[in-house]
A and B are shown apart, each in its own frame.
Chain A
Amino acid sequence: KAGVTQTPRYLIKTRGQQVTLSCSPISGHRSVSWYQQTPGQGLQFLFEYFSETQRNKGNFPGRFSGRQFSNSRSEMNVSTLELGDSALYLCASSLGATSVYEQYFGPGTRLTVT
């Protein structure tokens, strides 16, 4: 069974630009969650989608948005990039609707904003 895939793996953008990251969950998984990892703030929850609906959202500005498609693939978008958005963005997929189900993380997209 293929694991969680994230594209692209690396990205360099300029301040003010926008970026779209993609996550393909494990086949059959309906939940996709996104996390931002930085040296200063650690791992922080961005949002979770389940069956195309956003169920939870972390404490991030509205520049961060996401969506999930009918095939469970998910995208997150960051508009008007700031230097502080440089981070490793991780997505995780899960078969179930609650955190007692094991979550499988992708390798991440490393975003550098210059």
Chain B
Amino acid sequence: SQQGEEDPQALSIQEGENATMNCSYKTSINNLQWYRQNSGRGLVHLILIRSNEREKHSGRLRVTLDTSKKSSSLLITASRAADTASYFCATGFTGAGNMLTFGGGTRLMVKP
């Protein structure tokens, strides 16, 4: 079963706008990661945030983590048509090796 839920399930925006996706999870985690997947292909790692971190940036990406609410958000600023993809959050756990538990994903469409 999936660890958590992502919200919204689908998002459609215009190029240049910001996109925000949210992820909630159920149990204590060691880290939370975000991945992108283009049309049924492999996943691409975007960013990892550890449980003792609150915010992280990478280029146009900003991730926040609130462990008290068991939630995270991914913000993509100044979106581009090439950002069109599905985005997944995944949680890692202490003592669980490389096992990740994925959320259901958000399908993002960026219209040119």
Would you call A104 an interface residue if the criterion is a C-beta within 8 Å of the partner chain's C-beta atoms? yes
Are A42 and B99 CB-contacts (below 8 A) given A100-B92, A105-B43, A108-B42? Answer: no
Q: Verify A50–B42 contact, CB threshold 8 A.
A: no
Bound Cα distance from A96 to B45, whole angstroms: 15
Would you call A11 an interface residue if the criterion is a C-beta within 8 Å of the partner chain's C-beta atoms? no
A residues in contact with B105, CB < 8 Å: 42-43
A residues in contact with B33, CB < 8 Å: 99
Bound Cα distance from A36 to B45, whole angstroms: 17
B residues in contact with A94, CB < 8 Å: 98
A residues in contact with B43, CB < 8 Å: 90, 92, 105
Identify which of residues 75-112 in chain B touch chain A, using a CB-to-CB cut-off of 8 Å.
88, 90, 92-93, 96-105
Identify which of residues 1-47 in chain A touch chain B, using a CB-to-CB cut-off of 8 Å.
4, 31, 33, 35, 41-45
Q: Verify A103–B45 contact, CB threshold 8 A.
A: yes
Against A, the Cβ 8 Å flags (1 = close, 0 = not) of B35-64 are 100001111110010100000000000000
Are A100 and B102 CB-contacts (below 8 A) given A56-B96, A105-B42, A105-B43? Answer: no
- Closest partner residue, chain B, to A106 (CB atom): B42
A residues in contact with B103, CB < 8 Å: 42
- Closest partner residue, chain A, to B103 (CB atom): A42
Bound Cα distance from A45 to B100, whole angstroms: 7
Are A103 and B104 CB-contacts (below 8 A) given A88-B40, A90-B43, A98-B92? Answer: no
B interface residues, Cβ below 8 angstroms from A: 1-2, 30-31, 33, 35, 40-45, 48, 50, 88, 90, 92-93, 96-105
Query: 20 A–B contact pairs at CB < 8 A?
Result: A33-B99, A33-B100, A35-B102, A43-B105, A45-B99, A50-B98, A92-B43, A94-B98, A97-B97, A98-B30, A98-B98, A99-B30, A99-B98, A100-B31, A103-B100, A105-B43, A106-B42, A108-B40, A108-B41, A108-B42
